[in-house]
Amino acid sequence: MNEEMLSSLIDMSQDMRTKEKKVEDALGVTWSVYDSYINDIQEIILDSVGMPRDNTVEMTKLHGDPEGYEHEDMFCRDTASEWFYAHGKGELSKEQLIQNVVTWRKFYSKYKEDNERIDGVVEITFLDGSKITIENETVINGYMNDSDVTKGTENEDTEPKIPEKEFYIRQFYSNSIDGSEGKEASLLATSDFKIGIMGFVLSVDCFSIGRDTRNATLYRSSSVRSVDNLEFIF
């Protein structure tokens, strides 16, 4: 399921929640006619990103309380439910909700080992065969050519355009897959990580890796041959 579909389902769920609230405020009653549909939509969303189903009831029946909650096979979706609840109250943006859902593994300690294993999530291969590994927290900076070539001297037949001022590139994006470097949800955090990274590469003239942009190498986007997931779990 792509992020556009995730966004549509979240909007649908929120619309139902808004209608319930209007009736409750108008009549002063608890009106939960849409609750089952809202819960079903949330389950569909979480299923689509590979999150295990909540099995706390089954595990406590099998192993008792509290043993069932501590069992290695137990999985609880309460954390994810809190994201949807916060979004419904306006405390969490839709963009951040989608990012949390897509990168859910890092929020669950049970999947800490898996999360560490998929830290090296994407590998960029260049035309010369060299490679760069992009981890969840790796900062990626995107640049566009910003040289002013409209006012300089030029000869269309024999000479390239020369800018009036110095040659220049402009940084217009900087973030990581997990969004730790930006104020907004990361545009790199697609459900299939290589899609987000390749989309980024195709949208820039050149890019660099890391927070230290002054000393970082600039890679021309046209020098990229391929982008692959190293440990992609869906």
> Among 115, 148, 165, where does a domain finish?
115
- Tell me, yes or no, whether 188 and 88 share the same domain: no
Output the pTM of the full model: 0.49
Residue 234: inside a domain: no
pLDDT 10s digits, 117-145: 444 588 999 999 999 988 888 899 999 99
- Tell me, yes or no, whether 97 and 141 share the same domain: no
- Tell me, yes or no, whether 110 and 126 share the same domain: no
Q: In what order do the strands lie in the sheet with 140-145?
A: 169-175, 140-145, 206-209, 219-220
> Among 73, 94, 115, where does a domain finish?
115
pLDDT of residue 127: 95
Distance CA 36, CA 34 (A): 6
- Tell me, yes or no, whether 21 and 74 share the same domain: yes
Q: Which of 41-45, 135-139, 181-185, 197-201 has the lowest mean pLDDT?
A: 181-185
Which residues, other chains included, contact 22 with Cβ-Cβ below 8 Å and sequence gap of 6+? none
- Tell me, yes or no, whether 82 and 108 share the same domain: yes
pLDDT of residue 149: 62
- pLDDT greater than 90 at residue 227: yes
What range does the domain containing 36 cover? 3-115
pLDDT of residue 190: 79
- Tell me, yes or no, whether 85 and 149 share the same domain: no
Residue 146: inside a domain: yes
Distance CA 155, CA 152 (A): 10
- Tell me, yes or no, whether 161 and 207 share the same domain: yes
- Tell me, yes or no, whether 139 and 209 share the same domain: yes
Distance CA 179, CA 188 (A): 8
